[in-house]
Chains A and B, each alone.
Chain A
């Protein structure tokens, strides 16, 4: 064996080991996600046996399947219905959709955070900090208050939020440019200013509206909450998360090049203008849809990618999938804390993420200032 082949096998072997570790991590996270979903459903003021969770899920899935296929499947699997009507309602109609929404929103916001940080090349970027979530909230509230985007039917709120997030992202991006370059300090400041403005606008629309139910809804949007979700609301976030994260995962190589630098990306064959536009749209769409169902839950997109990078490095082929899992697991547990820890008061989940995320942001900022002497 020549020396060169010896070197080759060493390096390829090392990377195979890295690859194996990555798949083990992903497998572990998948198991952890299932466990978290189960526990997230059982934990709460009303005691629920763990076994009931998945048996109810199985029997409901079976029922839906036989409805669709109009076959009698009850002979296949026999699930004994030993749960009460109340237990069924709590598990299947209240907690299941709520926990699943946490999964989708947590995953979506984490993926969006990863992408935005590569797009603006700044680890402090997050849809909440850059005001994108506030913009989405305005869009959503405008739909409720003025009946905007009525043509979109039941998806009007999501559409409004998407329009709001796209516009806001665009404005913040423009404001952050100086001499054709993205200035990190300007980016954060522009984001904060825009976020304040749009939060103010959301409150303004709500308080001057003659629709009374708005006042309650707006609190949920401003604070971010997973409460009161039902099954039909889950469809759009699930579809958008699936396609959004698949698209982003396919762009992982491009994101790697982009996070190194615009010119590097271009000289490695990335069509910058087109790629940026598509990422812009993907980020705005996922943020808009998530905010439409859960309000502005902050700092997930900031904290999760950072923690994940400490675990697996910067390569987006690993960071994206791991962030998606960690984001969903994280949000399930934060929501469990939000609704159980301060009994009898139930907090909106965004309150807890802000309490965690604010100090995290400051810590990152402090580190950045220390290392670079500036943003």
Chain B
């Protein structure tokens, strides 16, 4: 399942939050969306998953304009994992995951054995089987994310959108969640704020600044100290890890950074 956005823009009161963004996610890719807070990552994702209607531009999912599909049709093809709080209303983990079947169900349809199997398989896949009857509200952040990923699996969508899936999680859970998603092998676009994780897991990256795309390509093509300095306003050093072969980025505060940079230490 592939996704394309073409010249997508969205503004709030004359302020462009997303500005003429054109990007593409090919079948099977894990694409990372980077950028500092307020760069428009979440807004762009919300446009992609059809919550925000863009002022201009087209979003195509498998060649079809998402605004010409019904929410139900979109939901059968695209699943979204976002920060979620159920507030005052508690559901069991099993119930939350079963909601993933909603887009496949008519008004009179009941949960079938097939639905139960899908839920069980999904819970097993995210290693949450023992939590099926637990209350969702009592779970930790990492557990909640895993449950929401299970719901996305049950949705049987071919395209996955993740909005900062590792936000507020311990490093252990950050790795666990991304490892899980990567191993699903589903076409994915994820907004990420942690550059090292993005470099490690993503096939390709898009970098946003103030709503505009400023770079795109493989991690090696995108993650340059100059660009990081320009977008995030910090000094950094990018190296290749001897064992993983992936990029590793170190960040430096202003004083130290300018001194190191003066010494010409750049990759």
Contacts and interface: CB of A to CB of B under 8 A. Distances in A.
B79 interface: yes
B208 interface: no
Given A123-B88, A269-B76, A314-B89, A263 B82 contact: yes
> Quick one: which of B99, B111, B119 has the most chain A CB within 10 A?
B99
B124 A260 contact: no
B116 A15 contact: yes
Given A8-B116, A11-B116, A12-B116, A314 B105 contact: no
B264 interface: no
A12 B82 contact: no
Contact of B107 (A4, A7, A15, A250): A250
B216 to A, nearest CB: 25
B61 interface: no
Given A7-B120, A269-B71, A269-B103, A263 B95 contact: no
A183 interface: no
Contact of A271 (B49, B70, B88, B117): B70
B88 A122 contact: yes
Bin the interface of chain A by size. Answer: 20 to 34
A209 interface: no
A7 B122 CA distance: 12
Interface stretch (A33-41, A143-151, A251-259, A322-330): A251-259
Contacts of B103: 268-269
A44 interface: no
Bin the interface of chain B by size. Answer: 35 or more
A253 B98 CA distance: 10
Nearest to B130: A7
Given A253-B102, A257-B99, A314-B91, A11 B71 contact: no
Given A8-B120, A122-B88, A260-B84, A270 B99 contact: no
B207 interface: no
Given A11-B94, A263-B51, A314-B89, A4 B121 contact: yes
B92 A313 contact: yes
A61 interface: no
Contacts, number: 109
Contact of A268 (B75, B108, B120): B75
A187 B72 CA distance: 30
B89 A259 contact: yes
A186 interface: no
Interface string A260-279: 11011011111110000000
B91 A4 contact: no
B245 interface: no
Nearest to B85: A261
Contact of A261 (B84, B88, B108, B120): B84
A337 to B, nearest CB: 30
A313 B119 contact: no
Contact of B88 (A267, A268, A368): A368
B107 A260 contact: no
B74 interface: yes
Contact of B102 (A12, A257, A259, A263): A257
A266 B51 contact: yes
A55 interface: no
A315 interface: yes
Contacts of A63: none
A7 B50 contact: no
Given A266-B51, A266-B71, A267-B80, A11 B92 contact: no
A315 B121 CA distance: 22
B107 A269 contact: no
A74 interface: no
B119 A11 contact: yes
Contacts of A264: 82, 84, 99
Contacts of A259: 86, 89
Contacts of A315: 91, 95
B99 A253 contact: yes
A263 B51 CA distance: 7
Contacts of A177: none
Nearest to A309: B89
A14 interface: yes
19 contacts: A8-B117, A11-B123, A11-B129, A12-B116, A14-B132, A250-B107, A257-B99, A259-B86, A260-B84, A260-B89, A264-B82, A268-B102, A269-B75, A270-B102, A271-B70, A271-B72, A313-B95, A314-B90, A315-B91
* 4 A-B pairs with least C-beta separation: A269-B75, A269-B103, A269-B72, A267-B80
Interface of B: 46, 49-51, 70-76, 78-80, 82, 84-92, 94-96, 99-100, 102-103, 105, 107-108, 111, 113, 116-117, 119-121, 123-124, 129, 132-133, 155
Given A8-B120, A11-B123, A256-B102, 19 more contacts: A4-B120, A4-B124, A11-B132, A15-B111, A121-B87, A123-B88, A251-B107, A260-B96, A263-B46, A263-B51, A266-B51, A266-B71, A267-B51, A268-B100, A268-B102, A269-B71, A270-B71, A272-B71, A309-B89
